[in-house]
């Protein structure tokens, strides 16, 4: 009787074993569970504390998301629709090196030697840029990336009397991230549906502009062609499940402690937005920004600026490597 209940076909046996393994492992704490615990901590600590409001103040914002969560798309929508400046640490680093400033010269020496740009040097570069945006709302991209950087930034903003007042975590499930990159559709854990394999890419990019398309969530009007220019789309060579598994692990290792720090320092300012696509996350983000009281931008920002923001905030590229001119690359911690 029991043997009749066991799956006999190889495919069914594979699915049965995968599901059993998944069920057994589901009782263990996963990295996603750890992030959820941190967000619960923030909610607990925020009880009785009012959320930050504009009231004459400016928005000082950070956004965190797994690679592929849509940080670039959402940042570009913020800049398009609201009076908020986008500050890219990559842009700032390139500008300081090109301008030959004191911090730029220091950074250039490090780049030339192939070393890592230190946290303290990056903080000086970021601090200088934030001073230029005094009195304006901003979203800072690319810094902090680690717990130590978060502490340095928090201390610096605290000394200036301008602490962070919005920290957003984009909560997109790992399974969605992986399927978005590989085009890998699963019916149950371990069993792949026919018609799409990991060799069939789901994500395409127009390299000159940074516009991103996805066969499932945001397909181009003409397959393989950019909507605005008609130029061919490409797949990034590092858009593979293997690479993204490593990037997800790196994200959890660096971001979970950072979010926990913010949960303790700014619990009322830390928010987690849940969804599978940018279109699901955007209304939640917009509600947060509206509730804060940030003014909408009129007329909306032009497409060139929007696409630049999307490319700079693209969470699918390695933000630890910043091109700074020619074939030179700055390696960040």
Same domain, 178 and 291: yes
Same domain, 169 and 244: yes
Residues 303, 12: Cα–Cα separation, whole Å = 50
Same domain, 102 and 164: no
Q: Domain boundary at 105, 136, 167, which?
A: 136
pLDDT at position 280 is: 93
pLDDT at position 22 is: 40
Same domain, 291 and 146: yes
Domain at 279, CATH number = 3.40.50.300
pLDDT at position 84 is: 92
Same domain, 143 and 97: no
Same domain, 99 and 242: no
Same domain, 111 and 172: no
The answer as to whether 51 is a domain residue is: no
Phi–psi pair at 88, nearest 5 degrees: -100, 125
The answer as to whether 330 is a domain residue is: no
pLDDT tens track of the chain, all 333 residues? 444 444 444 433 433 444 444 444 445 788 899 999 999 999 999 998 988 887 778 999 999 998 888 888 899 899 989 999 999 888 888 889 889 999 889 988 988 888 888 999 999 999 999 999 999 999 999 899 899 999 999 999 999 999 999 999 999 999 888 876 665 443 333 333 334 444 444 678 887 776 777 776 678 899 889 888 999 988 776 667 788 788 889 889 988 899 999 999 999 999 999 999 888 999 999 999 999 998 887 766 655 455 555 555 555 455 555 555 555 555 566
Same domain, 110 and 152: no
Report the number of distinct structural domains present in the chain: 2
Same domain, 174 and 97: no
- Residue 203: name the closest of 305, 69, 320, 64 by CA: 69
Residue-range definition of the domain harbouring residue 275: 33-44+59-84+138-184+236-302
The answer as to whether 126 is a domain residue is: yes
Q: Cis peptide before 210, with omega less than 30 degrees from 0?
A: no
The answer as to whether 280 is a domain residue is: yes
Residues 209, 308: Cα–Cα separation, whole Å = 7
- Count how many Cα atoms sit within 13 Å of the Cα of residue 322 in the half-sphere of its side chain: 29
Q: Cis peptide before 144, with omega less than 30 degrees from 0?
A: yes
């Amino acid at each position: 009787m029991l043997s009749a209940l066991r799956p006999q076909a190889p495919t069914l046996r594979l699915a049965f074993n995968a599901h059993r393994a998944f069920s057994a492992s589901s009782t263990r704490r996963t990295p996603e569970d750890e992030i959820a615990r941190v967000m619960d901590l923030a909610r607990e600590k925020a009880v009785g504390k009012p959320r930050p409001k504009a009231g004459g103040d400016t928005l000082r914002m950070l956004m965190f998301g797994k690679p592929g969560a849509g940080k670039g798309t959402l940042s570009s929508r913020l800049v398009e629709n609201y009076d908020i400046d986008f500050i890219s640490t990559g842009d700032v680093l390139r500008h300081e090196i090109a301008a030959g400033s004191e911090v730029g010269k220091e950074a250039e020496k490090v780049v030339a030697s192939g070393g890592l740009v230190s946290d303290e040097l990056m903080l000086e570069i970021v601090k200088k840029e934030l001073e230029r945006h005094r009195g304006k709302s901003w979203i800072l991209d690319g810094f902090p990336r680690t717990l130590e950087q978060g502490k340095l930034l928090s201390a610096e903003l605290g000394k200036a009397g301008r602490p962070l007042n919005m920290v957003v975590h984009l909560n997109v499930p790992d399974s969605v991230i992986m399927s978005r990159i590989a085009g890998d559709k699963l019916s149950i854990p371990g069993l792949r549906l026919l018609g799409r394999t990991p060799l069939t890419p789901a994500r395409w990019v127009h390299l000159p502009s940074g516009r991103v398309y996805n066969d499932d969530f945001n397909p181009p009007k003409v397959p393989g062609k950019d909507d605005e220019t008609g130029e061919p789309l490409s797949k990034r060579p590092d858009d593979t499940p293997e690479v993204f598994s490593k990037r997800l692990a790196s994200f959890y290792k660096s971001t979970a402690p950072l979010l926990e720090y913010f949960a303790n320092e700014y619990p009322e300012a830390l928010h987690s937005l849940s969804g599978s696509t940018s279109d699901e996350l955007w209304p939640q983000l917009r509600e947060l920004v509206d509730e804060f009281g940030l003014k909408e931008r009129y007329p909306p920002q032009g497409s060139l600026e929007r696409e630049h923001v999307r490319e700079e905030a693209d969470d699918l590229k390695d933000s630890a490597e910043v091109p700074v001119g020619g074939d030179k690359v700055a390696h960040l911690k």
